[in-house]
Structure 1
């Protein structure tokens, strides 16, 4: 376990680029929306194209309530006497875009043997979509694990501000806090206060199991002089996200609905050390329930005064600060942004031998970051993995497999070419950026193909699959080709 004590943090997927901690959030948001496309999360406009026109369930208007004084919490950090039950959850809608992401996440949990239940929280689905997703989930449960489930909620992506008319503004990230709260209060499985809830994003995959125990010194990098190592009541954990103390720039009185919130008493250094939290989030059910209630109350107000991508994450920070729940921040749980030098678990990737960075052997290393968060696109030369490039029917009998990058990709290329630009201009990367990018392209491509083959082997007629030419899609060009020799060699 590496212990980190420092004044600066680095940004990642949540805020897109590393920034100085004392910049105002206004400047951060301007930078976020005008950075090169490579490092941006392209959400809204793409989703508009891929989400089918559909009639949603009735809009549920969030209840905004006044909060009592936050409860006193038990900060005991001793190891529990027995292994807790685990519940891993992630929030989605019912679009094809998050359909394949859900399958990929379930497959990763199956492969690493993630303990406990894994539940997709699907919000705003029509009756027809619910029926289709139930059938799909039944396949997943039968073929992977009976602990893999789906939980349906009403639509939460539109809210009305207090006193506002009309349907309210659309902000799809409302689904995360409200969906989490709905699941905790209405889950089909019995959830105990001492259980551990792990909240992921749908565009994340597991490379090794996540538990409540972070005491292994070789696998975890924790922030602080005397870090906690066990998730217990009053001691939630989360991955570090690089927005530092910028959440304090919001009008905390307006977000919390009171002028004496404990969140206002958090110092800048404590805000940096204990609150720049992002997924994976870990907490006991008791704590996560309190967090979900407060987070759901605060996020509409946060979005009202700050209608940007980060409103949901800032609302989370303010909620846990209001509840006096400082998080043990972990640097090593996740990787996402190849630009980040400090604040993610890239040290595990950097330790892989250069010549093995794209080999199948590297995919099975026991010490990797627990989660890969593919919220960005990864490009070397004309090889890419990007979630917005993936076919929506990736997990179906007729879907193509992804073209495999060469194992020496990191030696062949020190640049990337934007597939959306016609000039073919090369953008050069540093050596370490090349290594990180190669790892993400190769791991995610192999993992997606492995999951696709798993799906086909269990749901498609073997005679039809073996007789048909192998279809391969090049995500960079978007072109699909057929091949028989690759299939015979088993290279895909």
Structure 2
């Protein structure tokens, strides 16, 4: 019996050990993974290495990681960062040994080739993940879980590699049809990498030497310096060896961009500048920063999560901001731990350091797991439509408009955004916000619209010319080259517009090579010497503007030419005259409009011109036309009431609680004897009522105190009086069909101003007599009080004298 018990214990112990081993095996990767990233011997790459290595450990990424370190022998002598990561040293090819070309990006394919040839790790691995140094890992990356197969690598989408679709691919690969626009995150079987790597390096050298095809219209490289030759080397190399990728545009995201609903990115690529409120980060600003070796030094702290919640109410936009602050917080956490591990003294307590060590931060940055939506591949989505036999979907639309950091554009933004949400316009909308760094630091309107930030070109960086209108083409070009655009057609509007309905390419017949726009008949330069001077195809010049519907492929080719032609026309001061340009001010102010028309003519982009999309308030509408946009760029009036956007240039309508524009007449009061004038006036009233409705809803979201509340400050009252004065200053007399009117006379205005001077509505003469009566009554009351008090005082003195006499008659009084 005793032997049986011992045998039973041994068997149970063996079973338990076996169970534990099976559980552990379930959590281990079934294949061997190795992660690679390429850097150089610079401070710039050292702090990126610290961030990537920290995130690698934080998410418990399976397998090993190796830094491919490309350095010259001279650099190694002074390099301090050998201990920052497991490292495989690679000969530097920054200066090409044969051509002498300086191109550090070639070290990435060269480093991979060297690792495959000389590293023993390369002989003991199944799957390889290739990352960039400027990345933060948010969750475990297991290639087979992400859809990678032998012969089918998985990669992130790099949509701007337009060379895959044009002559560049035809020149540099025998299989241009196999060219995939991918990069950033690469996950592939080791056998595929062995076949690809030498071709990757070879094609990089080939594209780099092809300087004749570095143009932005061919490569998508806005600097036209061949800097992204390595990326094309990868895509062309993969096409050459027949590797087609499973392409995913959900797994990796740039901070500053919002993930798709239901997705959970597991990789942050902070290669582009991004911003949260007034805080911003750009890796290029820290090119020489030795933050890794300076104890206690961290990157500027971003806003706290609770501040982000107050900053943004839109859930998707809030996710975008949370990803941005997470990126920098993990970088700072990595630096903090690195400093501690390298003997730095414990930093002084601060609120931010306390946050980085808190359970709240740990919970926010715990490893993320991919969702089914995250794993959806781009080709899967296309295949889904084919397999289901569903009708061809409408093309995707994205609406954009350009503004600056001023109160003038802020109230226009509020109006346009409100109308966009009411209009039923498909797709997303983005504000292209052009601001100087100084203006941006003081700017309060970050949350008014989904925003792409653009460096201001109001003051031209080369000529010094002050021309804010150039920001429109410059902003579009910047957005095209920096944003991840998921749309087929782009709708371009101006900020001073109100949408009344959807503007879609299928309704208005826009197509690739055939944009749609609205007529700008005053652009007479299309018909004279101006067009002949500024385009080689003057016959293709269309007098259009305002609303533009253009295919993304056309816009990518066109944006740079639009900017260049704007600069060209703006510089042509000899032809500013009204009889040439149609500009009544003869100041070159409409150069941007001609830049658009001449630029499209240069590409022979002929427009479908549609008169039923846009209308100016104050103009007589065509019967039965349902206009989709109000463009309130000109002054308009209804009877004695008028509106001119220029008069509200300096008024902060957005941040001043309950500020609104002068209320237009009630439609029921309009004269209906003339139907054309009646319809014109209805549209004018609708335009400003929509603006006021937008402002009212915005102020409600600001939690403004209710009108008449005691919490309204004296400063508010003063500002209100200014707005009231401006309102009455806008009154006009009789109007004609063209919207011209006479201003109210000065005496009427002065009387109204005196009535409203302190915001009470009481005439000043009446107030004077009221104040005099109050003062006289107060004085009389004081006299009465004084007389009464004096009488009592005299009586009191007599009583004291009488009491004194009585006390002196007692013999013992003086002794008390």
Q: Are 2:368 and 1:109 aligned?
A: no
Is this contact kept in 2: 1:376–1:386, CA < 8 A? Answer: yes
Residue 249 of structure 1: aligned partner? 528
2:671 aligns with 411
* 1:64-463 mapped onto 2 (5 Å cutoff): 81-127=392-438, 129=440, 132-133=443-444, 136-138=445-447, 140=448, 148-159=449-460, 167-187=463-483, 190-192=484-486, 195-214=488-507, 229-243=508-522, 246-252=525-531, 254-256=533-535, 261=536, 263-266=537-540, 271=541, 275-305=542-572, 306-307=575-576, 308-336=588-616, 338=618, 346-347=621-622, 350-351=623-624, 368-390=626-648, 392-401=651-660, 402-411=662-671, 431=674, 434-435=677-678, 437-462=680-705
Change (3 A) 1:326 1:398: same
Question: 5+ residue gaps in structure 2?
Answer: 1-213, 219-390, 577-587, 731-752, 762-816
Q: How far apart, CA to CA, are the structure 2 residues paired with 1:67 and 1:118? A: 25
Unaligned runs of 5+ in 1: 1-64, 70-79, 141-147, 162-166, 215-228, 341-345, 352-366, 415-430, 484-492
SS of match in other structure, 1:405:
coil
Shift of 1:468: 7.5
CA distance in 2, matches of 1:203, 1:168: 27
Contact 1:199-1:280 at 8 Å conserved across structures: yes
Deviations 1:15-51 (A, max 9, x none): xxxxxxxxxxxxxxxxxxxxxxxxxxxxxxxxxxxxx
| CA offsets 1:382-407 (integer angstroms, 9 cap, x no match) | 20122123372222353433334232
Equivalent position SS for 1:122 = strand
Say what the alpha-carbon RMSD is for the aligned residues.
3.3
Structure 1's 374 and 151: CA in aligned 2 closer, same or farther, altered over 3 A?
same
Q: 1:245 to 1:432 in 2, by over 3 A?
A: farther
Task: Give the Cα–Cα distance (whole angstroms) in 1 for the partners of residues 553 and 217 of structure 2.
Answer: 16
Deviates more, 1:458-467 or 1:377-386: 458-467
Q: TM-score if structure 1 supplies the norm length?
A: 0.59
Q: Residue 688 of structure 2: SS of its match in structure 1?
A: helix
Q: Structure 1 pair 400/264, CA: closer, same or farther in 2 (3 Å)?
A: closer
Asked if structure 1 preserves the Cα contact closer than 8 Å seen for 2:663 and 2:689, the reply is no
- The question of whether the paired residues in 2 share the 8 Å contact of 1:384 and 1:475 is answered with no
Q: Is this contact kept in 1: 2:517–2:607, CA < 8 A?
A: yes
SS in 1 for 2:565: helix
Paired positions, count = 326
**Deviation for aligned residue 1:441:** 3.3
C-alpha distance in 1, partners of 2:729/2:689? 18
CA distance, structure 1, for counterparts of residue 643 and residue 502 of structure 2: 23
1:145-202 Cα distance to aligned partner (Å, 9 max, x none) = xxx41111112123377xxxxx522122111111111111112xx214x521111111
The corresponding residue for 1:477 is 729
C-alpha distance in structure 2 between counterparts of 1:338 and 1:250, whole Å = 32
1:48-68 superposed Cα distances (whole Å, 9 cap, x missing partner): xxxxxxxxxxxxxxxxx9999
Mapped to 1, the partners of 2:607 and 2:416 lie a distance apart of: 25
Output the CA distance in 1 between the equivalents of 2:520 and 2:617: 11
- Give the Cα separation in 1 of the matches to 2:393 and 2:554: 19
Aligned equivalents of 1:207, 1:410: Cα separation in 2: 22
Alignment partners' CA distance in 1, 2:635 and 2:434: 26
Q: Secondary structure at the match of 2:498?
A: strand
1:339–1:406 distance in 2 versus 1, CA, 3 Å? closer
| Change over 3 Å in CA distance of 1:244–1:213 after alignment to 2 | same
Tell me: CA distance 1:433–1:160, structure 2 relative to 1, closer, same or farther (3 Å): farther
Cα displacement string for residues 346-383 of structure 1 (whole angstroms, at most 9, x for unaligned residues): 22xx45xxxxxxxxxxxxxxx73110000011123320
For the 8 Å contact 1:254–1:301, the answer to whether it is kept is no
Classify the secondary structure of the residue corresponding to 1:115.
Answer: coil
Check conservation: 1:203, 1:373, Cα contact below 8 A: yes
**What does 1:29-40 correspond to in 2, within 5 Å?**
none
Q: Structure 1, residues 410-431: CA drift from partner, whole Å, max 9, x if none? A: 329x9xxxxxxxxxxxxxxxx5
Partner of 1:47: none
Contact 1:122 1:151 in 2 (8 A): yes
Cα offset, 1:444, TM superposition? 2.2
Contact 2:454 2:478 in 1 (8 A): yes
| C-alpha deviation, 1:131, in angstroms | 6.2
Aligned-partner Cα distance in 1 for 2:647–2:441: 25
For 1:265 and 1:330, the matched residues in 2 are separated by 19
Distance 2:217 2:440 in 1: 39
How far apart are the structure 2 equivalents of 1:458 and 1:209? Answer: 25
| Greater per-residue helix proportion | 2
Q: Which has the higher contact order (CA 8 A, sep 6+)?
A: 1
Q: Which has the larger radius of gyration?
A: 2
